[in-house]
Amino acid sequence: MENREMQNNAGHLVIGGCDVVELAMQWGTPLSVFDEELAANNARMYREALSSLPEYEIIFAGKALLTVGIARFMTNLGLSLDVVSGGELYIALTAGVPAQRIFFHGNNKTAADLGTALDLGVGRIVVDNLYELELLSDLAQKKKRTADILLRIMPGVEAHTHSYIQTGQLDSKFGISVAHNQAIDAVKLACSLPGLRLRGVHCHIGSQIFELASYAKTIDVMMSLIAEAEALGIELTELNLGGGLGIKYIDGDQPASIRDFGAYLTGALKSAAAKYNLRLPKIMVEPGRSLVGAAGTTVYRIGSIKENKGSRTYAAVNGGMADNPRVALYQAKYRAVVANKMDQAPEHTYTIVGQFCESSDVLINSIELPQLEPGDLLAVFCTGAYNYAMASNFNAVPRMPIVTVYRGQSDLVVERETYQDLIRLHRIPDRWLKDGVEGG
Ligand SMILES: Cc1ncc(COP(=O)(O)O)c(C=O)c1O
């Protein structure tokens, strides 16, 4: 999961066998570089980590990074795909992901999206709430189909992570709470409604989680619910534990490795099965960040450098909060290097800011780097998850391209947006084309 910082004889950063300075010349900046070998290794580690479970499935959480190419890449690696909107579903289908390998999530799916999911026969629809349960049952009956579903449960476990990316606590917008018998009542309802086949239960307690103990608590709650259902004669054969494993963004971060995470989960599942006298259900995990986060590096060009006497030295890059909103959203921290000065000592302290018209457009508050000059290349690590996926066109800045690198070769996954792309959907109403009209 760690970044392997390689440099060549020229003192340039190397990723996936490619000289990053040459990548910047070939593809321009800002540029998102995807180290496919790193991502593929992470997928393999997940498989190995869960291999002692009787039955398991690894589902890539597309919300972390979803393009047609990435969806295809993940499918080639043998992973299933989690989507949360009609748009993500469309990307998955365009990529050729088999419908059966798609998990359809979301806390406010539209009837149209549910209808499409039914028509396509997606693998599982993860039902978030009672309104959706009834809506789906109606749609399924009208279409004479049966939907294979999981129920999203709010297990009441507080993962120790930023409150904006906590999702398992009892006060959350996601899922059906275990409190006041709501979850078990929903299980009973799901079994009684026509057009639905309840396969199991789902939960996701948050993201960028370091403390594995939160998973043990969650597993206990979920297995207890499965036992409660079994006592009523309802067999839940699948347990989806969501994603959430953290990654090392900065030196102080100490996430568990994928291997330790798998071993911990397996142990906790086996003891919960013994405690509740249950057979282990099929286990699913839905990693996003821990599959692709460290595989992404954003390469920016340094522009203005401003020494504020008595305060800080600001270095500005040709990107910022529109391509990486995580810093402004939840104070995320990043590590970076100067890709063309890997052989120089970091002797100066900088604040790295973006080009956008917001004071909160700061990428790194304080970082030691070699002396910066305009034109240098700043490589910010661990930007593979929730960066491109959350990017916007704020200030009408086109989104950067993504290139995948593998053993010295680089290929486009997403092209750079153009100014024409920015205005593709813009229109001028005819009335506004005339001079001196009312309201104009
Ligand atoms: C339902 C669900 N599954 C999986 C994930 C992936 O989480 P992560 O990227 O932390 O692994 C998320 C992220 O928010 C999610 O909401």
What pLDDT is recorded for position 165? 60
| Nearest-CA residue for atom 5 of ligand 1 | 243
Which entry of 18, 191, 357, 382 is annotated as an active-site residue? 357
Does residue 159 have its Cβ closer than 6 Å to ligand 1? no
Distance 107 CA to ligand 1 centre (A): 13
Decide if pLDDT at 322 tops 80: yes
Using a 6 Å cutoff on CB, does residue 288 contact ligand 1? yes
Three-state SS across 268-287? HHHHHHHHCCCCCCEEEECC
Beta bridge partner(s), residue 317: 302
Q: pLDDT tens digit string along 336-361? A: 999 999 999 999 999 999 999 999 99
What pLDDT is recorded for position 5?
81
Distance 422 CA to ligand 1 centre (A): 29
pLDDT at 163 over 70: no
Once rounded to an integer, what is the mean pLDDT over residues 131-144?
98
- Segment holding 292, helix H or strand E: helix 289-292
Q: Which atom of ligand 1 is nearest to the CA of 244?
A: 10
Q: How far apart are CA 406 and CA 410, in angstroms?
A: 7
pLDDT at 440 over 60: no
Look up the CATH number of the domain holding residue 56. Answer: 3.20.20.10
* Ligand 1 pocket, residue 301 CB under 6 Å: no
In a domain, 434, yes or no: no
Could you tell me if the CB of 286 is within 6 A of ligand 1?
yes
Q: Of 237, 269, 292, which residue sits at a domain end?
A: 292
Q: At which residue do the structure tokens 């990107």 appear?
A: 319
Q: How far is the CA of 86 from the centre of ligand 1 (A)?
A: 17
pLDDT of residue 69: 98
User: Average pLDDT, stretch 50-61?
Assistant: 97
Confidence band (pLDDT; 50, 70, 90) for 3?
Answer: very low
Q: Are residues 83 and 196 in the same domain?
A: yes
412 shares a domain with 269: no
> What residues make up the domain containing 366?
6-32+296-423
435 located within any domain:
no
Residues 189 and 261 in one domain: yes
DSSP state of 244: -
In a domain, residue 429? The reply is: no
For ligand 1, the distance from its centroid to the CA atom of residue 290, given in whole angstroms, is 10
Give percent of the chain above pLDDT 70.
Answer: 96
Query: Within a domain: residue 436?
Result: no
For the cut 80, the answer to whether the pLDDT of residue 164 exceeds it is no
- Closest ligand 1 atom to Cα of 286: 4
What is the reported pLDDT for 310?
85
Residue 136 domain-assigned (yes or no): yes
Token pair recorded at residue 321: 């909060």
Ligand 1 centroid distance, CA of 241 (Å):
10
For residue 371, give the CATH number of its domain. 2.40.37.10
Ligand 1 atom closest to Cα of 59? Answer: 4
Please spell the DSSP secondary structure of 85-126, one letter per residue: SHHHHHHHHHTT--GGGEEE--SS--HHHHHHHHHHT-SEEE
Note if 357 is an active site residue.
Answer: yes
User: Do 125 and 145 share a domain, yes or no?
Assistant: yes
Residues 65 and 185 reside in one and the same domain:
yes
> Which of 256, 273, 292 is the last residue before a domain boundary?
292
Is 84 among the domain residues? Answer: yes
pLDDT at 6: 93
Q: Is the pLDDT of residue 438 over 70?
A: no
Going from the Cα of 74 to the center of ligand 1, the distance in angstroms, rounded, reads 16
Please tell me the distance from the alpha carbon of residue 183 to that of residue 176, in angstroms, as a whole number.
6
**In a shared domain, residues 171 and 266:** yes
Which residue among 42, 63, 209 has the greatest number of ligand 1 atoms within 8 angstroms of its CB, and so is best to mutate? 63
φ/ψ of 426, rounded to 5, equals -80, 145
Residue with more model confidence, 75 or 160: 75
The predicted pLDDT at position 2 comes to 42
Residues 252 and 324 in one domain: no
Q: Give me the percent of the chain exceeding a pLDDT of 90.
A: 92
Regarding predicted confidence, which is higher, 438 or 304? 304
Which sign, positive or negative, has the C-alpha torsion 41, 43, 46, 51?
negative
Could you read off the pLDDT of 191-221 as tens digits, one per residue? Answer: 999 999 999 999 999 999 999 999 999 999 9
Statement to judge: residues 224 and 351 lie in one domain: no
Cα distance between residue 148 and residue 376, in whole Å: 53
Q: Are 155 and 180 in contact (CB under 8 A)?
A: no
Query: Looking at the DSSP assignment, which residues form a beta bridge with residue 129?
Result: none
Atom of ligand 1 nearest to the CA of 288: 9
Same domain for 121 and 18, yes or no, is no
Statement to judge: residues 210 and 328 lie in one domain: no
Q: Which residue, by CA, sits nearest to atom 12 of ligand 1? A: 243
pTM of the predicted model, to two decimals? 0.95
Question: Quick one: which atom of ligand 1 is closest to the CA of 290?
Answer: 11
Q: How sure is the predictor about 161, in pLDDT bands with cuts at 50, 70 and 90?
A: low
Q: How far is the CA of 420 from the centre of ligand 1 (A)?
A: 33
Residue 431 lies in a domain: no
Q: Is 204 in the pocket of ligand 1 (CB under 6 A)?
A: yes
Render pLDDT for 26-50 as a digit per residue (tens, 0 to 9): 999 999 999 999 999 999 999 999 9
Same domain, 150 and 108: yes
pLDDT tens track for 108-119? 999 999 999 999
Three-state secondary structure call for residue 149: strand
- Average the pLDDT over 402-424 and give the result: 98
**Average pLDDT score over the chain:** 95
The domain boundary residue, chosen from 246, 271, 292: 292
Q: Say if 166 falls within a structural domain.
A: yes
Residue 291 has a pLDDT of 98
Count of the separate structural domains present in the chain: 2
pLDDT at residue 1 is higher than 50 = no
The helix or strand, by DSSP H or E, that contains position 25, with its residue range, turns out to be: helix 20-27
Pocket flag, ligand 1, residue 61 (CB < 6 Å) = yes
Band of residue 435 on the pLDDT scale cut at 50, 70, 90: confident
Q: Cα–Cα distance between 325 and 286 in angstroms, integer?
A: 23
Ligand 1 lined by 320 (C-beta under 6 Å): no
- Claim to verify: residue 208 and residue 315 sit in the same structural domain: no
